[in-house]
Homo-oligomer: A and B are copies of this chain.
Amino acid sequence: MRIGELAAQAGMSRDAIRFYEKVGLVAGRRLPNGYRDFPPETVAWLQYIRTAQALGFSLAEIARTGETLREAPDTAEALSTLFEEKLQVIDTRIAELTTLRADLATRVGTGCPLRAAGLPAEAEVESDPVPTGARRPAE
């Protein structure tokens, strides 16, 4: 499978995949003509990357997962361990969010917990608060 098809199936750009390859997140053979050639499972792996990213994991963390997996003598077992670790991380994150939720819920009733707290007074309201237009990759 060449990069174009992989990109289409994984729903990302060729450039992104090349970038992932550069940082060691994906690997593929090369065809005699120099083209990249990926096994079909790479689609699932890329989707996993996307999911993990959406969850707030950095590419470096995801790469570590991949490395651990590669180095494991028993892949199946290693995978289970990793997933269990991720579950813990997720649980932690959910707990944090729940805490903040409660925090905010408490304040909803309150009068003005942040009143006039150094908010941008009265300046260029129509201008962008951040240097140049905001854009976020995923989410």
Contacts and interface: CB of A to CB of B under 8 A. Distances in A.
Interface of A: 23-28, 38-39, 41-46, 48, 51, 54-56, 58-61, 63-64, 66-67, 69-71, 75-76, 79-80, 83-84, 86-87, 90-91, 93-94, 96-98, 100-101, 103-105, 107-109, 111-123, 125, 128-131, 134, 136, 139
Contact of A119 (B51, B66, B100): B66
B48 A129 contact: no
Nearest to A63: B129
A130 B100 contact: no
A125 B64 CA distance: 10
A96 to B, nearest CB: 7
A138 to B, nearest CB: 10
A63 B128 CA distance: 9
Given A41-B114, A114-B45, A69 B119 contact: yes
Contacts of A71: 125
